[in-house]
Structure 1
Amino acid sequence: MKRLLPLMIALAVLVGVLSSTAFIVRERDYALVFALGEVKKVISEPGLYFKLPPPFQNVVTLDKRLLTIDVQEAERIQTSEKKNLLIDSFVKWRIEDPRLFYVTFGGNERAARERLQALIRDGLNAAVNVRTVKDVVSLERAAVMNQVLNSVVSRAKPLGVEIVDVRLKRIEFAPEISESVYRRMESERLQVANETRAKGAAESERIRAEADREREQILAEAYGRAQAVMGEGDAKAAGIYAKAYGEDLGFYSFYKSLEGYRAAFGKPNDLLVVDPSSDFFKYLKSPTGK
Structure 2
Amino acid sequence: MNRLTIAAIAVAVLLVTAASSLFTVQQTQQVLITQFGQPIRVIREPGLHAKIPFIQSVIALDRRLLDFEASGEEVILGDQRRLIVDSFTRYRITDPLLYFQTAGVAENGIRGRLASIVSSALRRVLGNEALLNVLSVDRLRIMNEIRDQVNREAKRFGVDVEDVRIRRADLPEENTQAVLSRMQSERERVAREARAEGAEQGARIRAAADRDRTVLLAEATSNADILRGQGEQEAIAISAAAFEKDPDFFRFWRSMQAYREAFSEGGDSRLLLSPDSEFFRYFRELPTVTP
TM-score range, shorter chain: 0.7 to 0.9
Give the match's secondary structure for 1:217. Answer: helix
Corresponding residue of 1:142: 140
Closer, same or farther: CA 3–283 of 1 in aligned 2, 3 Å? closer
Q: Which amino acid aligns with 1:116?
A: L
Question: In structure 2, how many angstroms separate the alpha carbons of the residues matched to 1:251 and 1:9?
Answer: 157
- How many Å apart are 1:118 and its aligned residue? 1.8
Q: Deviations over 1:87-136 (max 9, x none)?
A: 22222211011111111112222111121122222222223222232321
Deviates more, 1:136-145 or 1:161-170: 136-145
Give the match's secondary structure for 1:101. Answer: helix
Structure 1: gaps spanning 5 or more residues: none
Q: TM-score, normalised by structure 1?
A: 0.82
1:5 aligns with 2:2: no
Deviates more, 1:243-252 or 1:80-89: 243-252
Closer, same or farther: CA 7–284 of 1 in aligned 2, 3 Å? closer
Corresponding residue of 2:202: 204
Write out the 4+ residue segments of structure 1 that deviate beyond 4 Å after TM superposition: 248-256, 280-288
Map 1:16-95 to 2 at 5 A: 16-55=16-55, 57-71=56-70, 73-95=71-93
Q: Deviations over 1:22-54 (max 9, x none)?
A: 222222222112234432210011222222233
Deviates more, 1:141-150 or 1:93-102: 141-150
Question: In structure 1, how many angstroms separate the alpha carbons of the residues matched to 2:89 and 2:249?
Answer: 116
Closer, same or farther: CA 26–282 of 1 in aligned 2, 3 Å? closer
- How many Å apart are 1:183 and its aligned residue? 0.4
Question: In structure 1, how many angstroms separate the alpha carbons of the residues matched to 2:232 and 2:25?
Answer: 117
Q: Which amino acid aligns with 2:202?
A: S
Question: In structure 2, how many angstroms separate the alpha carbons of the residues matched to 1:244 and 1:191?
Answer: 78
Closer, same or farther: CA 240–36 of 1 in aligned 2, 3 Å? same
Map 1:82-161 to 2 at 5 A: 82-161=80-159
Q: Which amino acid aligns with 2:5?
A: L
Question: In structure 2, how many angstroms separate the alpha carbons of the residues matched to 1:242 and 1:92?
Answer: 108
Q: Which amino acid aligns with 1:89?
A: S
Closer, same or farther: CA 271–141 of 1 in aligned 2, 3 Å? farther
Q: TM-score, normalised by structure 2?
A: 0.82
Closer, same or farther: CA 121–33 of 1 in aligned 2, 3 Å? same
Tell me, yes or no, if the aligned pair for 1:94 and 1:163 is still in contact at 8 Å: yes
Corresponding residue of 1:236: 234
Q: Which amino acid aligns with 1:31?
A: V
Question: In structure 1, how many angstroms separate the alpha carbons of the residues matched to 2:52 and 2:91?
Answer: 33
Question: In structure 2, how many angstroms separate the alpha carbons of the residues matched to 1:242 and 1:19?
Answer: 138
Question: In structure 2, how many angstroms separate the alpha carbons of the residues matched to 1:113 and 1:62?
Answer: 14
Corresponding residue of 2:169: 171
Question: In structure 2, how many angstroms separate the alpha carbons of the residues matched to 1:170 and 1:285?
Answer: 112
Closer, same or farther: CA 189–245 of 1 in aligned 2, 3 Å? same
Q: Deviations over 1:154-193 (max 9, x none)?
A: 2222221111222222222111111101101111111111
Closer, same or farther: CA 7–283 of 1 in aligned 2, 3 Å? closer
Q: Which amino acid aligns with 2:17?
A: V
Structure 2: gaps spanning 5 or more residues: 263-267, 286-291
Question: In structure 2, how many angstroms separate the alpha carbons of the residues matched to 1:91 and 1:25?
Answer: 26
Q: CA RMSD in A?
A: 3.0
